Amino acid sequence: MSTAPTRRYSPRLLRWFGRYVRHYLRRHFTAVRVARDGQPPPVTGPTILYANHAAWWDPLVLLVIAARYFPHHEVYAPIDAAALRRYPLLERFGFFGIRPNSAAGAREFLAASKLVLATGRGIVALSAQGHFSDVRPRPVTIKRGLAALLNEVPAARAVPVAIEYPFWNERLPECLLRFGAPVSAGTRSVAELHEALGAALESTLDELAAQAVARDAAPFDAVLAGRRGAGWLADLPQRVRARLSGRRFDAAHAAVVRGSKGR
């Protein structure tokens, strides 16, 4: 890249966009939750967040997560250069363009990421799989560019981030996240590092999967609370009954089920 990704970054525009994204996620998810025993580690140096690529929602979710856990840092993410030309405003939010699946794109990714990490305030976030992938296939495969980046910036740490979108008891899905233990280059070769990064993401996904299967929100912190219930019109009879009986209406499906059993 001819210029640093930081050149067009706009904190003011990003704050505006972040407010819109939080509202948008609230409309489409029951909640965005992060596992309490899988919180992000403190940022003590150059940091890379690398996640699985479960759905279209991933970048928006990570934007909200970054604002919550890394408020004093700037998060940058690679994107297809063609998409960035189509939506140039994204550059103001920290996205930088690369040509995917090419040697030129790999060089662009390394050059831009090194510039971001050298600032002392920049974090690189990426979907390590490089394509949409279900959370269940094993082994988890990731692109080799991340290992190459860690090899060139040995002071950096790469933090695996697992994301799932399961349906539990509500009409809308949950958004669940879990951070894993950081991976650093050490004395490993690029090939060994690539294998370690894939294994760390797979382990983090396995731990999150066990929590998702349990269908229990208690082990999670709710970063964002969304909508519960079947919708205003469908919930209307329950609202009326609660009002007439002097009870506080709870739109959660579990509350409705408990109330039905109690009658």
How do residues 172-220 score in pLDDT, each as one tens digit? 999 999 999 999 999 999 999 999 999 999 999 999 999 999 999 999 9
**Together in a domain, 88 and 105:** yes
**Together in a domain, 122 and 57:** yes
**Together in a domain, 211 and 237:** no
pLDDT grade for 250, boundaries at 50, 70 and 90: low
**Together in a domain, 220 and 239:** no
How do residues 77-98 score in pLDDT, each as one tens digit? 999 999 999 999 999 999 999 9
pTM of the model: 0.86
H, E, C per residue of 161-211 = EEEECCCCCCCCCEEEEEECCCEECCCCCHHHHHHHHHHHHHHHHHHHHHH
**Together in a domain, 146 and 179:** yes
How do residues 153-182 score in pLDDT, each as one tens digit? 999 999 999 999 999 999 999 999 999 999
**Together in a domain, 161 and 252:** no
**Together in a domain, 181 and 254:** no
**Of 7-21, 50-64, 237-251, minimum mean pLDDT range:** 237-251
Most confident of 61-70, 229-238, 248-257: 61-70
Q: Compute the Cα dihedral for 77, 223, 182, 192 and give only its sign.
A: negative
Number of domains in the chain: 2
**Together in a domain, 154 and 221:** yes
Cα–Cα distance, 179 to 69 (Å, whole number): 12
**Together in a domain, 240 and 195:** no
Residue 4 has a pLDDT of 82
Residue 227 has a pLDDT of 87
**Together in a domain, 176 and 137:** yes
CATH number at residue 160: 3.40.1130
**Together in a domain, 105 and 204:** yes
Give residue 243's domain range: 232-262
pLDDT at 113 over 50: yes
Cα–Cα distance, 165 to 64 (Å, whole number): 15
Cα–Cα distance, 23 to 239 (Å, whole number): 24
**Together in a domain, 207 and 238:** no
